[in-house]
Amino acid sequence: MTRLWSFLLLLCLAVSAFAIDSESFEDPALRARYEYLTHILRCPKCQGETIAESNAGIAVDLRREVRRMLSEGKSDAEILDFMTARFGDFVLYKPPFSTRTFVLWFAPVMILGGALIIALVVIRKRTQQSFDDPPGSDASATEGNKVDAT
C-alpha cells in the first residue's frame, strides 16, 4: 500500500514538472527572459504558484501572452506593466512598495510584534501572580482547604 501512495505522489510531482510550455524559443536570450518572467508572475487562480509552475487554464493563457509579447519585441517592463494593469500588483510575487501595498509588506511584522507583546504581557502577569502567592504560602494553603461549615 505504501508503494502505491509513493507512486501516486511521484506521479503528481511529475505532472507539475510539465507546466512550462514545451515550445521553446530559438534565441537563448528570449528563452531566458521568458523563464524569468514566468517565474516572477503569480497565477491569479492558484495564488501560491507562478505561472511557470501552474497548470491552470489562466496560467497557460498568461504564458502564451508572455510568449507573444516577447515575440513582438516588448520589453520586460512593458510586459510587467501590461500584467499589473490587467491583474493589479497581486500578479507580481514581489510587488513594489507603495502606499497601496504598505499593509502587504508590513502585516507579517505587525502581527508578529502584536503576538510578542501579548505573550510578554501574559508571561509578566503570570510571573507577578506567582510572586504574589507563592505555592507554599499560608494564603494558598488555607484557600484550597476551606470547608463549608454549614
- Res 19: pLDDT: 46
The parent domain of residue 40 ranges over 16-91
pLDDT tens digits for 1-38?
666 656 555 655 555 444 445 466 788 888 999 999 99
Mean pLDDT, residues 113-131 taken together: 90
pLDDT tens digits for 98-121?
777 777 778 889 999 999 999 999
Whole-Å CA distances, 69 to 37, 52, 73 = 11, 16, 6
- Res 18: pLDDT: 46
How far apart (Å, rounded) are the C-alpha atoms in residues 57 and 55? 6
Grid cell 507583546 in the structure block, residue? 117
Query: In this structure, is residue 39 part of a structural domain?
Result: yes
Q: Which residues contact 31 (CB under 8 A, 6 or more apart)?
A: 24, 25
**86 and 117 co-located in one domain:** no
Query: In this structure, is residue 7 part of a structural domain?
Result: no
Mean pLDDT, residues 63-89 taken together: 91
What is the tally of structural domains in the chain? 2
pTM comes to: 0.55
Backbone angles phi, psi at 50, to 5 degrees: -80, 170
- Res 92: pLDDT: 84
**25 and 64 co-located in one domain:** yes
